[in-house]
Every structure is written in C-alpha cells, then in structure tokens.
Amino acid sequence: MRILLADDQAQVRFALRVLFEREPGLEVVGEVVDAADLLAQLRRVSPDAVLLDWELPGLAMIGTLSALRDDTPGLIVIALSGKPEACRAALESGADAFVSKADPPERLLTVIEQCGERRGAEWHRHAEV
C-alpha cells in the first residue's frame, strides 16, 4: 500500500516513516507539510492512502477532504490528531478513519489494514501485535 504523509510536524512524519519502513507491503511515497502541497503531491505520487493531520495548514479540512475525494476516488483518508475531540468532525467530514496521535503505533497499523480491506487494497499485516 502506497502512503502519503501529510503533517506539518517533522518528528511525526519521521516516526510514521520509521514505523512503515518496518512493515512489508507499506511504502511511504511522499511527505507534505500543508494542504496545497498535499493536493500537488497527490497527483504526482498516486497513493492508496493519505495520513492526514487534522490541523494541516492551508485549507479547512472539509475543503481538503472534498478536494482529495474529487481528485482521487477510492483514496483512503485516515485523519490524525493529538486532539481526540477532532474524531467526530473528521469522520463527519468524510475521513475513512481517525487515529489519535496518542494511540500506540499498532492501532494505526490495524486501522490502515481495516481501511485497506474495506477498499480492496493489497496489504495485510504480518507482524504480531
């Protein structure tokens, strides 16, 4: 599964990249720091999934999610936030799933797998949790 990381915090992107590099079948195809870059990269790298910081600078999330859906039907969008109260808004705005940045890494991997199964993406975890 090809993943695009969208977060303005370098340490978050680094941690996600390290996590995914250990998982066979997951490939980070790009990193972006704002919504404008996200939309531009999306067209270039054709990811299967976007991990989207709910507070990504540049656009309101509803507008960003709408643009993502218009540009890439079938794209998996997983919203990330350090604020658990953002969960409801993210899901109501069209995200496929929400993961708190405070959750353990295994939770994120499980959510990616579940979203992939719902969308027919080709990735299944091989590591034990």
User: In this structure, what CATH number is given to the domain that contains residue 88?
Assistant: 3.40.50.2300
Does 14 fall in a domain?
A: yes
Note whether residue 127 is domain-resident: no
The reply to whether 15 falls in a domain is yes
Higher pLDDT, 69 or 30: 30
> Is it the case that residue 63 has pLDDT exceeding 90?
no
Task: State the average pLDDT for the chain.
Answer: 86
Please state the domain count of the chain: 1
Higher pLDDT residue, 35 or 119?
A: 35
Domain encompassing residue 11 = 2-119
In a domain, 124, yes or no: no
When mean pLDDT is compared across 2-6, 21-25, 85-89, 119-123, the lowest value belongs to 119-123
Q: Is residue 60 a contact partner of residue 35, using CB atoms and an 8 Å limit?
A: no
Tokens of 50: 């976007």
Task: Over range 31-56, report the average pLDDT.
Answer: 91
DSSP count for the chain of H helices, then E strands: 5, 5
Q: What is the pLDDT of residue 59?
A: 66
**Residue 125 burial class via C-beta count within 10 angstroms: exposed 0-12, middle 13-18, buried 19 and up:** middle
